[in-house]
Amino acid sequence: MLSRYLRLPLPLLFAGALGVLFAACGGGGGGASGAGTPPVQQPPPAGNPPPAALTLALAPFAANLSNPTFLTAPPGDARQFIVERAGRILVMQGGTLLSQPFLDIRALTDTTGEGGLLSMAFDPGYATNGRFYVYRTNASHDIVVERYTVSNDPNRADPASALAILQIAHPTYTNHFGGLLAFGPDGYLYLGTGDGGSEGDPNGNAQNPASLLGKLLRLDVRSASAAAPYLVPDTNPYRNQAGSRPEIWALGLRNPWRFAFDAGQLYIADVGAALHEEIDLQPATQGGVNYGWNRMEGSACYRAQTCDRTGLALPVLDYGHDGGACSITGGYVYRGAAIPELAGRYFYSDYCAGFLRSFLAVDRSATEQREWSVAKVGQVVSFGQDGQGELYVIGSGGIWKIVRA
């Protein structure tokens, strides 16, 4: 997520190695679905609190990258797939960055403002169907979601396999594109879209159920084809409401650059405006949640002393801009094997402040809040999670792995 912050001037955003990288969504097509909801698989719970003596470090993992925005891998896969903003996906295998990219769609990707290739997601059935999805922006500044398939070479995708899933118009502004797509525990594809840009959501997209901007979307892509690129799950909360887009799962988001599923919970790190950064937490099965923007920014009313909070879900955690903080960078819950004391802890950072913090979610409360003493790595763009559940910090031009010090 290169730089994702409206309140920073664009020249400053592009001055660093990362540039700007936000993401927001709007527009889209639709369909109907008779698909049921698979049972939620519950990961193991957290263990005992990490001992005070436990220290962490950020170990250099990959360098000399061109504006990296994301890292992921299919479950159990020993490789790491690294997304670059300009439109390439690279493969790290056995600690070596392969010379040939997994996918190169630079000709299709536009990096104006906060745009670019912002994330990718492997299909839950990738081991057998070879399918994966990308989230990018095009020359019209639209948000584009596409499906690709791996070639006979496991380290190369087939660029000719592209299937357009969803294109969302993002007119007028070139910030707040959102940026993440991920499969939920129900097997559906979720997209986090920004409010359309500018300041304060001037078009009122986040609270408008007729717009796909400022939302979390939920799509069934299991039988995607050119004729029907996605279906709308029966349980989507706005499916049968007149004047509402049926793809919407939740609304009231400003710029949900990163979100994560874990243990039946959904964590959303929503980038704030001038004063507050927030982390929202809800059961993954809870649709129709209104996260409050632009009536609220974090746990406070936006540009008002009072506001109507009826029906709004307040964040589980928010923080201000003290100490140079400016924009939250959401991460993941740790589920790796290398540091079992961290099991169940959600990690996050801030693009400007560069800290590494974690907490344990208990009954919608952020407990065991902790800031870890690690070396700063510049502007923190994103987090990554590999096929073994280990976590990575993506910073200015490089990637670092969270390890035991």
Query: Given this model, what pLDDT does residue 111 score?
Result: 97
Intra-chain end-to-end CA distance of the chain, in Å:
27
What mean pLDDT is reported for the chain?
90
pLDDT-derived band at 48, boundaries 50, 70, 90 = confident
Residue in 138, 139, 141, 157 with CA at minimum distance from that of residue 149? 157
Q: What's the pLDDT tens digit per position in 110-156?
A: 999 999 999 999 999 999 999 999 999 999 999 999 999 999 999 99
More confident residue, 48 or 62: 62
Confidence grade of residue 26 (pLDDT, cut at 50, 70, 90): very low
CA 14 to chain centre: 21
More confident residue, 194 or 396: 194
Give the separation between CA 259 and CA 279, rounded to whole angstroms. Answer: 9
| 193/206 Cα distance (integer angstroms) | 9
Are the beta carbons of 350 and 52 closer than 8 angstroms?
no
Extract the tokens encoding 330.
Answer: 């959401």
Among candidate residues 371, 387, 379, the one with its CA nearest the CA of residue 50: 371
How many angstroms separate the Cα of 323 from the Cα of each of 10, 265, 394?
Answer: 22, 30, 21
Class of domain 10-33+64-341: mainly beta
- Residues 6+ away with beta carbon under 8 Å from 242: none
Range name among 20-34, 256-270, 348-362 with the lowest pLDDT average: 20-34
190's CB contacts (< 8 A; 6+ apart) are: 181, 182, 183, 184, 216, 217, 218, 219, 249, 259
pLDDT of residue 33: 33
CA gap 272, 275 in Å, rounded: 7
Residue 20 has pLDDT above 50, yes or no: no
Domain ranges within the chain, ordered by starting residue: 10-33+64-341
| Backbone phi and psi for residue 140, each to the nearest 5 degrees, phi listed first | -90, 5
Question: Is residue 49 very low, low, confident or very high in pLDDT (cuts 50, 70, 90)?
Answer: confident
Q: What local confidence, expressed as pLDDT, does residue 28 receive?
A: 32
pLDDT at 47 exceeding the cut of 80 = no
Contact 318, 328 (CB under 8 A): no
pLDDT at residue 397, as a whole number? 74
Q: Quick one: average pLDDT of 147-172?
A: 97
Q: Please compute the mean of the pLDDT values over residues 31-52 and round it to a whole number.
A: 54
Q: What is the pLDDT of residues 92-110, one digit of tens each?
A: 999 999 999 999 999 999 9
- Residue 176, pLDDT score: 97
DSSP string, 137-197: E-TT--EEEEEEEE-SSTT-EEEEEEEEEEEE---S-SS----EEEE-TTS-EEEE----S
How large is the average pLDDT for residues 296-323? 96
Residue 299 has pLDDT above 50, yes or no: yes
Whether pLDDT at 41 is above 70? no
Average pLDDT over residues 1-14: 35
Helix (H, G, I), strand (E, B) or coil at 102: coil
Give CA angle at 354 (353, 357), nearest 5°. Answer: 105
Q: Torsions phi, psi of 368, nearest 5?
A: 50, 40
pLDDT of 158 reads 98
Token digits of residue 374: 């690690």
What would the DSSP string read from start to end of 44-80?
P---SPPPTT--EEEEEEE-S-SSEEEEE--TT-S-E
Say whether 312 sits in a helix, a strand or coil.
strand
Whether the upstream peptide bond of residue 294 has omega within 30° of 0, thus cis, is yes
CA distance 281 to 291: 10
Question: What tokens does 363 get?
Answer: 């009954």
Least confident of 13-17, 79-83, 223-227: 13-17
Note the pLDDT of residue 396. 80
pLDDT at residue 384 greater than cutoff 60: yes
Q: Which pLDDT band, with edges at 50, 70 and 90, does 31 fall under?
A: very low
Which residues are registered as beta bridge partners of 270?
278
Q: Identify the pLDDT of residue 43.
A: 52
What confidence tier does 44 reach under pLDDT thresholds 50, 70, 90?
A: low
* Tokens representing residue 207 in the block: 């609270």
Q: What is the pLDDT of residues 176-219, one digit of tens each?
A: 999 999 999 999 999 999 999 999 999 999 999 999 999 999 99
For the segment 65-84, what is each residue's pLDDT rounded down to a tens digit?
999 999 999 999 999 999 99
Question: Taking a C-beta distance cutoff of 8 angstroms, is the pair 152, 160 a contact?
Answer: no
Q: What are phi and psi of 174, to 5 degrees?
A: -115, 30
The pLDDT of residue 22 is above 80? no
Token readout for 102 is 């997994």
More confident residue, 43 or 16: 43
